[in-house]
Structure 1
């Protein structure tokens, strides 16, 4: 194969011997295409700042850490970055819920949620919470981000108010500290304790 062919934001691209085989998708996006909305921080797949959405020809969509994916492994893929995201509803909802502060991690949060919805539009609030655990935010905190994105869940109530982090979370079944494992989608273990406990 002489050329690796793929799409980014609906446009056709191909790379060959002019691009080194160790160039990551992140570096290709930022340095070759000047798409700087995809950020970098750790370059080890630990922070989630570089997440983009990938769609395979078979119909599967998922989020990937573009710092871990070589551009030469993108053959046949359709890649969407924050610049190519036509759906502004995710960004507006996140901003309306005060889910951004410095904004550095915001594109990746949006792309993670977009990928999640592309893969399964009927997600539950528990799915949202579990699926976004790979993203790190160092200044806003997770409550407003989760509050914003849980609005897109199929089981979301009209108004979502998450409890304060200071409140102890107990499992409704066991009355012990909730670790959110072995939960059904309909089970929420947030319980506010009386002040005397």
Structure 2
């Protein structure tokens, strides 16, 4: 066992972990931050995406010990303290970017990272960025639309293009 200390959602978190403990399990099991989902445990689905030192990371691919000293942000930190959704979360709600909700935390965290890197991504850039996130319900159309809306872009043309096909 070794002790890890990291800043999680702005607060210091310390815990004892085995060398093989994945960051996702430390967040969920030790810190009770269950918004980060475990979908595949093989880095395929993206349900476990968190931000580590500002970068989107699949937390099932990172050992908790590797995050020692890092700043980690989970889906729980996205809304304001009063529960007000951030712009990405609100866009997902407004544009029906979720159905069952299982992939949503990872999608929101990935979308937030994308918009930080590229504030006005094209539809193709969004689809490319989300290749590591799997949604089995939505078909991605409304997820893409939500991210474009969160970036302040007009999404009416997206609906029109799909309706015309």
Do they superpose with TM above 0.5? yes
Instruction: Name 1:157's counterpart in structure 2.
Output: 154
- Residue 120 of structure 2 contacts residue 148 of structure 2 at CA under 8 Å; is this kept in 1? no
CA distance in 1, matches of 2:158, 2:33: 35
Instruction: Name 1:69's counterpart in structure 2.
Output: 62
Cα shift at 1:71:
0.2
CA distance in 1, matches of 2:35, 2:56: 15
Cα shift at 1:157:
3.3
Report the 3-state secondary structure (helix = DSSP H, G, I; strand = E; otherwise coil) of the residue aligned with 2:17: coil
The one of 80, 85, 90 equivalent to 2:73 is 80
- Rg (Cα) greater in structure: 1
Instruction: Name 2:6's counterpart in structure 1.
Output: 6
What are the Cα deviations for residues 131-161 of structure 1, in whole angstroms up to 9, with x where unaligned? 111111111220000011022447x336341
Cα shift at 1:89:
1.7
Give the count of matched residue pairs. 157
In structure 2, the gaps of 5 or more residues are 80-84
- Residue 6 of structure 1 contacts residue 75 of structure 1 at CA under 8 Å; is this kept in 2? yes
Q: TM-score, normalised by structure 2?
A: 0.84
CA distance in 2, matches of 1:40, 1:103: 13
| Structure 1 residues 95 and 152, CA gap change in structure 2 (3 angstroms) | closer
| Structure 1 residues 4 and 99, CA gap change in structure 2 (3 angstroms) | same
- Residue 151 of structure 1 contacts residue 160 of structure 1 at CA under 8 Å; is this kept in 2? no
- Residue 9 of structure 1 contacts residue 80 of structure 1 at CA under 8 Å; is this kept in 2? yes
CA distance in 2, matches of 1:12, 1:69: 19
CA distance in 1, matches of 2:102, 2:28: 15
Report the 3-state secondary structure (helix = DSSP H, G, I; strand = E; otherwise coil) of the residue aligned with 2:68: coil
The root-mean-square deviation of aligned C-alpha atoms, in Å, is 2.2
- Residue 147 of structure 1 contacts residue 160 of structure 1 at CA under 8 Å; is this kept in 2? no
